Structure 1
Amino acid sequence: MEQEKIPDIVKTADEKLPHFEDGRIDYSNAKKAPIVVLFLKYREEILILKRSKKVGTHPKRWGFVAGYLDELKSIKKKGLEELSEETGIERNQIKSIKKKGVYEWRSKEENKDYTSFLFLVELTEKPEIDLSWEHEEYKWIKIKKAEQYLSSNALEELKIVLP
């Protein structure tokens, strides 16, 4: 099996940016930030999560499981950690996980450019969701209803993952 690589953008950030006390890369004042975004699918539905007002970025906005690539780990490994942390879903509940592409976008409110590494996660069954403090609500929705909830950037990501 091929060794999963750490993206160059993460290696560069690790060298040049400050770190939190726990060793994670601090993107707070960075102009660019890489993130992993996981699109959870069970049959014909996708999981969306409403961000808590306690989070620093995009509070109260609907989106997907996501997190900064703030450690020297492969994207897939970091994504699986975020999945477990944000939803309680573990590896044995996953039917398949596939990298679907990369999407670059700008957050005007943060004045930051993001590189989103996108993954489709298909589940074996519809799981119980155990939300972390980062989210306050979740919904399983039909893909055609996504535009009622998601920002334009999240919809663009969804088009890449589920064209």
Structure 2
Amino acid sequence: MDKQSSAAYMQHIRDLTANYPRFEDGRVNYTDERVCFVLNCVVASGDQVLLTKRSSEVIAYPELINGISGFIDNPNLSIKDIAYGELAEEIGISRQHIINMKLSQPFVQIDQQLDREWHVVAILVELASTVTPRLNWENKSAAWFNLKEVPKMKLMPGFAETVEAALAMRHL
């Protein structure tokens, strides 16, 4: 998704979430909302991908393997800026580590068990080299894996599709 499409999508999100509750700082509060707008970063370096195991303290999908994800909840930021914030917050990766960031077109994933409709933007985040992640409370562990190992893992629902969407942008 190019910069213009990303800006248009953010306007779409602002319009659709206009009546959603807000936190005191103005961010969208998706807690009790069925339709949620999220991003999920696939962090790669060469043939390695950084995966996290979600903490037992998170509400959705505890103990499952995922990328770096977050709600698209700040109407004043771009999707890339929200992604930069999530990367710094969850695993301590700063902009200086990133050599490339590409956004997919949004796609929808339905989780009937949680009664959630996730509108996902997959984000390919490429690093020049692997870095040691610094975790926050959302993840209990993080490690680098060979891309060939990912299909064999117990992933968060929908994350395999996210990985596929992100890696498809690798050579564009």
Given the two structures, how large is their TM-score scaled by the length of structure 2?
A: 0.87
Per the alignment, residue 107 of structure 1 pairs with 111
Q: CA deviation at 1:108?
A: 2.0
The residue aligned with 1:55 is 58
What amino acid sits opposite 1:91 in the alignment?
Answer: R
User: Secondary structure of the equivalent of 1:122?
Assistant: strand
Partner of 2:160: 155
Do the aligned residues in 2 keep the contact of 1:101 with 1:161 (CA within 8 Å)?
no
- Unpaired stretches in structure 1, ≥5 consecutive residues: none
Task: Check whether the contact 1:39–1:46 (CA below 8 A) recurs between aligned residues.
Answer: yes
Question: What per-residue deviation string (whole Å, max 9, x for no partner) do you get for residues 27-82 of structure 1?
Answer: 11112001011110011010110110111111111100000011112111101100
Matches of 1:112 and 1:12, distance apart in 2? 19
- Which of 36, 39, 47 is matched with 2:39 structurally? 36
- Structure-1 residue corresponding to 2:48: 45
The 4+ residue runs of structure 1 with deviation greater than 4 A are none
Instruction: Tell me the secondary structure at the aligned position of residue 134 of structure 2.
Output: coil
Q: Match for 1:87: what amino acid?
A: I
Q: Calculate percent identity across the aligned residue pairs.
A: 25
**Unaligned 5+ runs, structure 2:** none
Alignment match, 1:134 = 138
- Which letter maps to 1:161? A
Deviation at 1:22, TM superposition (A): 2.8
2:126 to 119, 122, 134: 122
Partner of 1:80: 84
SS in structure 2 at match of 1:15: coil
Q: State yes or no: 1:97 paired with 2:108.
A: no
Does the 8 A contact of 2:23 with 2:29 survive in 1? yes
Letter in 2 for 1:81: G
Per-residue CA shift, 1:117-137, capped at 9, x if unaligned? Answer: 111111022112101110001
Is contact 1:103-1:157 (8 Å) kept? no
Cα RMSD, aligned residues only: 1.7
Moved more, 119-128 or 146-155: 146-155
